[in-house]
Amino acid sequence: AVAVSASVVGTVGTSVVLPCSYPTAAAVSLEDLNIYWQINDSMVVHFFRKKDDNAHQHPKYKNRTKLFYKELVQGDCSLTLFNVNVGDEAKYSAHVILATTSEKHTTEVYLQSSPASYKMPLISRRPISGNIPCGKNATYTCTSSGGYPKPWVLWLINNTEVPTDPNNLQIQQDPTNQLYTVTGFLNANITEESNVSCIFMNNVLGENKTA
């Protein structure tokens, strides 16, 4: 029989547990357990046959999965997936086969990725210190990291939004967890002692971070 769980949400860049269980009246031996975690019956996510046997594990899951070994013999075949990224969204199937009885139990888990919050942004200015003479330009940078998806970056001078070129952003994405580090730039003509601030907007989370 196939037991379909509710969708599981994993925040990008963190770990998530894909739940799985099989009925057992008493503790079984690891020697009697075969567990296949896979996608579409072809992509191997994790393979356990008496012990971990990941020779055929798909490269994208290498060093990113772990079973709860102490709980396996009690019927818990849940899998931890580390460094969740958007590409992990899928329907995962866990097939548990008991060698002593040839019983087969299948669990399906739907994984959805969730956006991640950005850290509080840091703002800096060049010249670094001192008053800027009237009519002279100052260059500001505002940086934040650890978020997903790409943010909107707004600049304000004296609490008034300043139109900026969307290309004045430096965006880097971590290839492992797909989280972003973003730096915005503002070159402002200062005509008075001004209060400059920037806002990182994660519209998916409805979250704003201000520096």
Q: Which residue has the higher pLDDT, 192 or 18?
A: 18
pTM of the model: 0.69
**Mean pLDDT for the stretch of residues 50-74:** 88
The pLDDT value given to residue 172: 93
Strands 180-190 and 169-173: antiparallel
DSSP output for 86-117: GGG-EEEEEEEEETTTTEEEEEEEEEEEE-BP
pLDDT of residue 192 exceeding 70, the answer is no
- Residue 61's pLDDT is 92
Question: Quick one: fold of 2-114?
Answer: Immunoglobulin-like (2.60.40)
25: pLDDT confidence band, cut at 50, 70 and 90? Answer: low
The segment(s) of the chain belonging to CATH 2.60.40.10 are 2-114, 122-210
Q: What is the mean pLDDT of residues 169-186?
A: 89
- The secondary element (H helix, E strand) that includes residue 204 is none
**What is 122-210's CATH number, 3.40.50.2300, 3.30.70.920, 3.30.43.10, 2.60.40.10?**
2.60.40.10
Confidence of residue 130 (pLDDT cuts 50, 70, 90): low
pLDDT at 1 over 70: no
Query: In Å, how far are 2, 16, 67 from 106, measured between CA atoms?
Result: 5, 20, 16
Distance CA 117, CA 159 (A): 24
The arithmetic mean of pLDDT across residues 82-111, rounded, is 85
Backbone angles phi, psi at 99, to 5 degrees: -65, -30
Residue 4 confidence (pLDDT) above 70: no
Report the pLDDT value the prediction gives residue 28, as an integer from 0 to 100.
76
